[in-house]
Amino acid sequence: MASTRNTLERIKNKLDESMGIRDIDHKPQLSPVPNAKDVGRRALRNFGTLTIDSVIPDPDQPRTEFDEEEIQRLSRSIVDKGQLHPIHVRWSEVHSKWIIISGERRYRATKAAGLPSINCQFEEKDLNKTQILEQQLIENLLREDLKPIEEAKAFSLLIELNGWTGKELGEALRVNPSRITRSLALLKLPSDIQKQVEDGTLSPTAAYELSKLPSDEQRRAAMLSPEGSSVPVSVAKAQRQVRQRKGVSSPATRGVKQTFVTEAGWKVTVSSTRKGNYHEMEEALKQALEEVRLRIDNDVHLG
C-alpha cells in the first residue's frame, strides 16, 4: 500500500497535467506588435509581399516619364499572368515606407490594375545616394528604358556626386566611355533642341553632331531648311552642317567600304573615310537603324 502511495506521489504532477490541472497559468503569450518594416515579410527576409500603399516611388529616380500605353499593357499582363518579377525596394525611416530602387514600371502597372499588394525584394544594406542611383541607372540601361536626356542627366549626376571622369563612370557602370561622352554632349544643347531629342523628332546621334558646333545660334541654324523652316535633321545633314560651319571640306573618299545583300535583294553599304573594324561598322549600322526608325516615326516617305 505504501508502495502504491509513493508511486502516486511521484507521478502526481503528470496526472494533474493530463487532467488540465496546472499550478502555473500557461496562457499563450501574444507576439509583440511588429515593426512597420517587418510587415509583409516572410521567413526568407529578402522577399515578401507588401500592400501597394506601403510602397512609394523614389523622387530621385532618373527615369521621369513612362509610356501610359506600355503601363496599361503591362497591367493587363499582371492581371492575366501575375507579377513575374518582384520590384526592388529599400526601407525609409523618414517616410516609414518602402521606396522603390528599381521596378517603378511594374509598380505603376500593379496600381493601374487595382491590385492591393505587390511582390518585393528587400534591400537590407543601407545604400548611399550614389549606390541607389547606380542600381537604378544600371537597370534602366539594361532595359533601355531611359530617354537620351534622362540618361545624360543621370550620368552627369553620378560624375558630380563621385568626382569621377567619364572613363571612371564607364568602368563603374560597365558602359563604353564613348557612350557616356556622346550622352553628356546632349546637355550642351539648348533646351529647345533637347526637347526635340526627348520628343523623338531629333535623333541623339544627330543631336551629338550638332553639339560640336560652337554656339546655340549655329546649332539652331543648322536645323533650318533653305526656306527657313525647322525640319528633322538626319545624321548626315548634321555632319555636313558641322563641316561647313567649321570651314572643313568633305574628306576624300578612301578607307573602308563594305556592302551587305539581304535575301530580299536590298543592298546595305557601310563606308568610312578611314580604316576601321567590324565593331565600329556594327555601331554605324545601329546608328543607321536609329535614323530609319526616326524617319518611320515621322512618316517620311522614300523618294
**DSSP labels, 117-180:** EEEEEEE-SPP-HHHHHHHHHHHHHHHT-S-HHHHHHHHHHHHHHHT--HHHHHHHHT--HHHH
Q: What pLDDT, on a 0 to 100 scale, did the predictor assign at position 234? A: 79
Looking at the 3D structure of the chain, how many domains does it have? 2
Which DSSP state fits 16? H
Q: What pLDDT, on a 0 to 100 scale, did the predictor assign at position 112? A: 94
Q: What pLDDT, on a 0 to 100 scale, did the predictor assign at position 200? A: 85
Q: What pLDDT, on a 0 to 100 scale, did the predictor assign at position 37? A: 73
The last residue of one of the domains, among 127, 145, 169, is 127
| Residues 123, 40 share a domain | yes
Could you tell me the pLDDT band of residue 154, with boundaries at 50, 70 and 90? confident
Q: How many CB atoms lie within 10 A of CB 24?
A: 5
Q: What pLDDT, on a 0 to 100 scale, did the predictor assign at position 26? A: 52
Judge whether 103 lies within some domain. yes
Which DSSP state fits 36? G
Judge whether 7 lies within some domain. no
34-43, 118-127, 244-253, 268-277: which is most confident: 118-127
Judge whether 237 lies within some domain. yes
| Residues 116, 42 share a domain | yes
Joined together, the cell numbers standing for residue 185 give: 554632349
What's the rounded mean pLDDT across residues 102-121? 92
Q: What pLDDT, on a 0 to 100 scale, did the predictor assign at position 228? A: 61
Q: What pLDDT, on a 0 to 100 scale, did the predictor assign at position 270? A: 86
More confident residue, 222 or 53: 53
pTM of the predicted structure, to 2 decimals: 0.52
CA atoms within 13 A on the CB side of 260: 8
pLDDT tens digits for range 271-292: 888 788 888 888 888 888 888 8
The last residue of one of the domains, among 100, 127, 154, is 127
Joined together, the cell numbers standing for residue 70 give: 506600355
110-124, 135-149, 284-298: which is most confident: 110-124
Contact predicate 190/210, CB 8 Å? no
As a whole number, the mean pLDDT across the chain is 81
10-24, 212-226, 286-300: which is most confident: 212-226
Strand pairing class (87-92; 117-123): parallel
Could you tell me the pLDDT band of residue 256, with boundaries at 50, 70 and 90? confident
Could you tell me the pLDDT band of residue 23, with boundaries at 50, 70 and 90? low
What's the rounded mean pLDDT across residues 110-121? 94
Contact predicate 173/162, CB 8 Å? no
Cell numbers 505504501 label which residue? 2
What's the rounded mean pLDDT across residues 153-175? 86
| Residues 292, 195 share a domain | yes
Domain of residue 201, residue span? 190-250+286-297
Judge whether 81 lies within some domain. yes
Judge whether 229 lies within some domain. yes
Could you tell me the pLDDT band of residue 16, with boundaries at 50, 70 and 90? low
Query: Does position 261 have pLDDT exceeding 90, yes or no?
Result: no
Judge whether 228 lies within some domain. yes
Q: What pLDDT, on a 0 to 100 scale, did the predictor assign at position 107? A: 94
Q: What pLDDT, on a 0 to 100 scale, did the predictor assign at position 226? A: 65
